[in-house]
Chain A
Amino acid sequence: MKEILTVTELNSYIANLLDSDPFLGQLWLRGEISGFRLYQQSGHMYFTLKDEDSTISAVMFKSRARGLKFKPKDGMEVLLRASVSVFARQGKYQLYVEEMQPYGIGGLFLYLEELKKKLAAKGYFAPERKKAIPAFVQRVGIVTSQDGAALRDICRILKQRHPGVEVVLVHSSVQGSEAPGELAEGLRLLNSYGEVELIIIGRGGGSYEDLMAFNSELVVQAIYESNIPVISAVGHEVDFTLADLVADLRAATPSQAASLAVADMQALSRQLDNYQQRLLRAMQRKLLYYTEIIDRLMMKRIWKQPRSLLHMREELLSQLEKRLSRGMTETFREKKMRLSMNVAALDSLSPLKIMERGYVLLQKEGRIIRDEQQVQIGDRLEVAMRHADLEIEVIKKERVKRWKS
């Protein structure tokens, strides 16, 4: 090597070397996107593709990026077709991406995002669509694997809280390609069976891929269509699936689902004890209250000597009777006396009695004459005496003063 090269010459030499390699000209590669940038003006995409141990820069030009069916994001696992070449200006080799698609969990993530959006638009996750979990459940339906830890956990907690609870299990695989269809069928089976008040669907923890059945559209649909309230219980606390979103209630774990499903019978039993005791106490208080009132009344002397009360009353009664009859006799006598007095008075006032004393009644045409003005000389007047009527004529009229009135 005697020649002295410029930097540009070296870079272009390396570029030639790489470009002439058939393997590097067309390769499929998988990795995780990081440091993703989209230049708005140019429309080109720049990012770093990495795995656990190393990284490589990548560029996807606008003309290629236009065909993408998803939005690349940091953290996304992708599968891409690219060539490797040198970016001479910076002296580094990089990937020139021709096409790209999601891969693995990154791809799942994308699929889930799209499915979630689609189902959300259909109203699957709307809170108002969620059914209430009944408070006192006697029969619980479970859709899970009959061999799984989840079933054991659920049954243990159910029994602990409510020893009388009945469990109706529908076995289903919970991972693998059969799982979505079987889980959905299990839900439908319990719905057509109808005799459970609540359904728990779930499985124990596992890898993200293991839980994928609970993200499937089949399962989400079946949960959505269930007429019986559904509690989802998938994996651990951190795991979140579409089944959790559509379920009427999401339990963080299968054990928690069991706690949410049935009331704690011991607590209920204690509550019943409490109510019974309170009923008894309140009733006792009431009775005691009345007993005291009665006691207080009975304490009075009168109750101790009922006979004396009776005698007192009898005496009073006979006194009243005596007074009454005496009163009646007296009143009668008095009335009688007053009556005879009145009769005598009436008699002395009678006009006949007066006529007997010589007085007469002077009338003119049937009217009693009290005043000389009522008569004229020559008038004919009638005179009523004790034993006769006369007819007379006025011959003289003279006013006299008899007594001062």
Chain B
Amino acid sequence: MEKLSFELALKKLEESVEQLESGELELEESIKVFEQGIELSLFCRKELSQAEGKIQRLVKNLGGEFELLDFEV
């Protein structure tokens, strides 16, 4: 699967669910859609849990470069 945005993945997942629920698909097609749906849902879960949730302070140092300092609220 190419690099997906979470947003797009969620939308595709929703479509897969609706497609499968419609019951209009042939068995083979159903399995394909089902597999794709599961893959998308796993992708979304991974995306959700990926970020570390840090809080950092952005400053420019003397050299004019960006620097991220850990920060406690």
Residues of A within 8 A of B (CB): 134-136, 138-139, 141, 146, 151-152, 155, 159, 163-171, 189-190, 193, 265, 268-269, 271-272, 275-276, 278-279, 282-283, 285-286, 290
Contact = CB atoms under 8 A, between A and B. Distances in A.
B45 A272 contact: yes
Interface string B1-25: 0000111001001101100110101
B58 to A, nearest CB: 5
A123 B15 CA distance: 40
Contacts, number: 101
Given A283-B20, A286-B23, A170 B58 contact: yes
Contacts of A265: 48
Nearest to B26: A286
The winner among A134, A275, A278, A290 for most chain B CB atoms within 10 A is: A275
Given A135-B7, A275-B41, A285 B48 contact: no
Interface in B18-73: 20-21, 23, 25, 27, 30-31, 34, 37-38, 41, 44-45, 48-60, 66, 68, 71, 73
A377 B49 CA distance: 129
Contacts of A190: 58
A173 to B, nearest CB: 15
Contact of B56 (A159, A164, A166): A166
B7 to A, nearest CB: 5
Given A135-B7, A272-B44, A166 B17 contact: no
Interface of B: 5-7, 10, 13-14, 16-17, 20-21, 23, 25, 27, 30-31, 34, 37-38, 41, 44-45, 48-60, 66, 68, 71, 73
Given A155-B73, A275-B17, A275-B37, A164 B52 contact: yes
